[in-house]
Amino acid sequence: MSEPAADGDYRLISSERVHDGRVISLDLDTVAMPGGGDSVREVVRHPGAVAVVALEQDGSVVLLRQYRHPVGGYLWELPAGLRDADGEPPLETAKRELAEEVQLAAERWSLLATYFSSPGFCDEQVLVYLAEGLSPADRPEGFTVEHEELDMTVDRVPLAEAVRRVMAGGIRNPAAVIGLLAADRYRAGGVELRPADAT
């Protein structure tokens, strides 16, 4: 959730769709500024995403090594995916992605964090879940492993080691950085997590 602007501040004057892609769209929005005048903003529209800190009983977390073309290499990430299934609640998307990518299910779910990836130009919001009480699961019927996922590797790493990798710069995917640090803080005690159906 974002704090809305005061009435009359940053009013949308017009919006022009200049690109419709498979995942993202690009709009040129003309926005009235509170001090007068207006400004054009390039806005990437994105369906949003989920990510999952899958925490094993022994305190290890599930990490994926996946090639990401825009950065030209591999990143260590959490199980994650787009909210691109019409009408699917984000928690159900998280459950589906956990089964698709690492063939796991969880007994207990909580919402660790919610963030906007790059709010200066994109409306993508990511919900990061904590999944506990893990057990093996089949991939959903009809799911096919393809593209970069064919080359993806899965590893289990102690949470403390994953946090060390974050601080050393070895983990740079934002959902992984936020999720791992939040999970570590939660395990240290003194904070409560939101219910899994929160936003």
Length of the chain: 199
- Partners of 48 in the beta sheet? none
Distance CA 68, CA 174 (A): 13
Distance CA 183, CA 133 (A): 15
Q: Output the CA torsion sign for 195, 196, 197, 199.
A: positive
44 class by beta-carbon count within 10 Å (0-12 exposed, 13-18 middle, 19+ buried):
middle
Cβ-based neighbours of 1, under 8 Å, separated by 6 or more: 114, 199
DSSP E strand stretches across the chain? 11-20, 25-32, 38-45, 49-54, 60-68, 73-77, 80-82, 104-116, 125-136, 153-158, 194-195
Q: Active-site residue 56, yes or no?
A: no
Active-site annotation holder among 77, 149, 161, 192: 149
Q: How far is CA 34 from CA 11, 40, 121, in A?
A: 8, 14, 19
Residues with a known catalytic role: 149
